[in-house]
C-alpha cells in the first residue's frame, strides 16, 4: 500500500518537473531568438550574371542605401558573375570603395573578369577553393562575314568622314592599321584594369600585370597568388565581416533590387547570349551611326 502511495505521489511530481523544464527550455529558446534578432545587421547584396550599365546603376543605388542605413554595420557582396562591361564593372567597384562601412566580397562560384574587378574593391575577399577567380584581361570581338558577301556577289560600300570610322565593321576585313588601332584601345583598358586591381589589393603592379593573361584560377590557386584573402563560404564571409566591424555576432539582412518579371526575363536572355559566345561589352561607337559591331569585354 505504501509503495502504491509513493508511486501516486511521484507521478504528479514528474509531470510538474516536466512542465517546469519545458517552460524554462522554451523561455531560453525565446531569449536566444530575441538576442539573435537584436544582433547587429550585416547587409548581403547579390551580384549575379552579366554586369551591364543598367545593372550597375541599380547596384550602386543599393550599395549607397546600405551604406546610409544606420542599422547596417558591414556589407557582404555575394558574387556569382563571369564579368561585364568595363564601365559597369568600374562603377560598381567605385561604389564599393566609396562605402564607409567594412566590405567583404564572397565569391560563391564565379568571380571572373569584371566581377573580379568588383570583388577586388572590397576590404576582404572570401572564395570557395573550387570557385573560379581572376580572368584579368580585356577582349575585343566581332563577327566578320565579308567572304559571305563575296559568295553571293554582294559588295560593301560606306562613305566615312575618318579613316577609323568603320574600323571593326563586320562587312569588310580588318586592315593591319585598324587592328593596331583597336588593339591600342584594348591595351589601354587592360592597363586600367590592372592598375585598379593592383591598387585595390595593395599589390605590385608588375606582379598583377604578370597575372593579367586572362587566365582563370581556382580559389585555392587564387589564395596562393594573393588574389583573395581566405577560403570559405557564407559562414566565413560573415565572420570576416564581423571581425572587420568589431562585432561578436551578427545577422544577415538581404538587400535586393526591385525587379519585375520582364527585368528577370531580360537578364536570363542576356546570360544565354553571353555563354553562347557573344560575350558582354559595349560598342566603341553607336551602331546606328557607324554600323560598328566591335565589342570590348572584361
Active-site residue flag, 169: no
| Dihedral angle over CA of 172, 175, 177, 179, nearest 10 | 80
Which distant-in-sequence residues (6+ apart) come within 8 Å of 117 by Cβ? 89, 90, 93, 193, 196, 197, 298
Three-state DSSP class for residue 189: helix
Q: Are 105 and 197 in contact (CB under 8 A)?
A: no
**What whole-number distance in Å separates Cα of residue 87 and Cα of residue 101?**
24
Residue 88 CB coordination number (10 Å): 25
Which one is catalytic: 97, 141, 146, 165?
165
Give, rounded to a whole angstrom, the gap between the first and last alpha carbons of the chain.
Answer: 89
| Partners of 103 in beta bridges | 75
Active-site residue flag, 113: yes
Place of cell 557564407: 234
Closest to 59 (Cα-Cα) out of 82, 28, 31, 93: 93
Which one is catalytic: 56, 81, 89, 113?
113
**What whole-number distance in Å separates Cα of residue 90 and Cα of residue 60?**
11
Q: DSSP for 198-228, please give it.
A: HHHTT--HHHHHHH-SS-EEEHHHHHHTTSS
Q: Check the CA dihedral 248-252-253-258 and report its sign.
A: positive
Residue 82 CB coordination number (10 Å): 24
**What whole-number distance in Å separates Cα of residue 70 and Cα of residue 205?**
36
Residues recognised as catalytic: 113, 165
Amino acid at each position: 500500500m505504501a509503495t502504491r502511495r509513493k508511486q501516486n505521489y511521484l507521478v504528479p511530481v514528474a509531470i510538474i518537473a516536466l512542465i517546469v523544464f519545458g517552460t524554462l527550455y522554451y523561455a531560453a529558446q525565446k531569449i536566444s531568438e530575441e538576442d539573435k534578432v537584436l544582433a547587429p545587421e550585416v547587409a548581403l547584396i547579390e551580384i549575379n550574371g552579366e554586369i551591364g550599365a543598367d545593372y550597375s546603376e541599380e547596384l550602386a543605388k543599393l550599395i549607397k542605401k546600405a551604406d546610409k542605413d544606420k542599422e547596417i554595420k558591414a556589407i557582404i557582396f555575394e558574387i556569382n558573375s563571369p564579368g561585364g562591361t568595363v564601365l559597369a564593372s568600374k562603377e560598381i567597384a567605385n561604389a564599393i570603395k566609396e562605402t564607409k562601412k567594412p566590405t567583404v566580397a564572397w565569391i560563391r562560384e564565379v568571380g571572373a573578369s569584371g566581377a573580379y574587378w568588383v570583388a577586388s574593391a572590397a576590404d576582404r575577399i572570401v572564395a570557395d577553393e573550387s570557385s573560379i577567380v581572376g580572368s584579368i584581361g580585356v577582349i575585343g570581338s566581332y563577327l566578320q562575314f565579308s567572304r559571305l558577301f563575296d559568295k553571293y556577289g554582294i559588295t560593301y560600300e560606306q562613305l566615312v568622314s575618318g579613316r577609323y570610322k568603320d574600323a571593326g565593321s563586320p562587312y569588310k576585313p580588318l586592315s593591319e592599321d585598324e587592328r593596331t588601332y583597336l588593339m591600342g584601345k584594348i591595351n589601354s583598358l587592360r592597363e586600367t584594369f590592372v592598375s585598379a586591381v593592383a591598387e585595390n589589393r595593395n599589390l605590385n603592379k608588375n606582379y598583377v600585370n604578370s597575372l593579367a593573361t586572362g587566365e582563370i584560377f581556382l580559389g585555392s590557386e587564387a589564395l596562393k597568388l594573393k588574389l583573395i584573402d581566405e577560403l570559405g563560404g557564407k559562414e566565413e564571409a560573415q565572420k570576416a565581416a564581423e571581425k572587420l566591424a568589431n562585432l561578436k555576432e551578427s545577422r544577415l539582412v538581404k538587400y535586393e533590387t526591385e525587379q519585375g518579371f520582364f527585368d528577370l526575363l531580360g537578364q536570363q536572355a542576356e546570360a544565354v547570349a553571353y555563354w553562347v559566345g557573344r560575350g558582354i561589352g559595349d560598342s566603341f561607337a553607336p551602331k546606328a551611326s557607324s554600323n560598328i559591331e566591335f565589342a570590348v569585354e572584361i
